[in-house]
Structure 1
Amino acid sequence: MPGAKTAAQWLASVAPDPEVCRLEWERNPLGIALLPAGRAWDVLILPSRLGHPTLDVLTRILDQPGPVLADFGDARAGFFVPPGTAARWLGTGVRTAGAGTWIVVPYPGRLSVGGIRWLVPPDGSGTLTDPALLELAMHEAAARLAGQEES
């Protein structure tokens, strides 16, 4: 993936020791590292039943949404949003990772070995998804899901 090194540097910049993070990505057979949320980004975590349709809506209206992760078993999707969002988020059914929390992050550009993976990898520039836009996309996705259930 072009820019994987730049994206990895951006992600690792939040680690207490970015060099240790890089080594962890190299040494871990799954290519994952544990990184603190709340510094350069927070993560809003949606159940995949809502997360994947929300990502579909976002990709229709944005050229490049912020990074999005899928967890083990594709049960959840995590949207990278500006720091501080988790502390202010009021939506129900959405988990948050902000200041004081850590998340598992795969190396950008490395193929997943059955675990956590990027649905939208970071581009290295710091692009994040606007939380208001994410909320609107969630509402549209939820309305579509509700309409499908009524059919």
Structure 2
Amino acid sequence: MTVPLSLLSSAADREREAWAQVPVLCDLGTDRGYVWVPRGTAATWPQGAHGTRALGDPWWLAVPRPLGPQVPERAWLQAPDAASALMHPGALRSALDIPADTAPGRSRP
């Protein structure tokens, strides 16, 4: 899931516990953050809602190794580890203030 960094930052500040074990990658070159969600989320996500986009097939994302060297433009805000969990789509909608009744593939202003 790709989310504008400003939205991601404010959501994480409001609901720290929901984000405690979720891997988050920061891309300063695009001003976006990437949140790991379960496979299939793209089929049910309201694409474009608050600037978000679920990346499903055929998308792929090159990421730095969690404990390896980071590149200046892309780095882990919270690297995955053995205790990491995927962000539940419902919890992500709530954290980003996206109404649950927003239709998949569509966005609300």
- Settle same-fold status: TM greater than 0.5: yes
CA distance in 2, matches of 1:47, 1:134: 13
* Selected match of 2:41 from 61, 85, 88: 85
Shift of 1:104: 1.6
In the other structure, the counterpart of 2:89 is 131
8 A contact 1:58–1:65 mirrored in 2: no
Q: What CA deviation, in whole Å up to 9, does each residue of 1:25-58 have, x standing for no partner?
A: xxxxxxxxxxxxxxxxxxx111111111122234
8 A contact 2:3–2:53 mirrored in 1: yes
In the other structure, the counterpart of 1:68 is 24
Alignment of 1:1-150 (within 5 A): 44-59=1-16, 61-62=17-18, 64-73=20-29, 75-91=31-47, 92=49, 93-125=51-83, 127-139=85-97
Question: Where in structure 1 are there 5+ consecutive unaligned residues?
Answer: 1-43, 141-151
TM-score, with structure 2 as normaliser: 0.74
Higher relative contact order (CA 8 A, sep 6+): 2
How many residue pairs end up in the alignment?
96
Range that drifts further, 130-139 or 91-100 = 91-100
Give the strand-richer structure, 1 or 2. 1
Shift of 1:63: 6.9
Using the aligned pairs only, state the percent identity: 33
8 A contact 1:48–1:74 mirrored in 2: no
8 A contact 2:5–2:32 mirrored in 1: yes
Question: Where in structure 2 are there 5+ consecutive unaligned residues?
Answer: 99-109
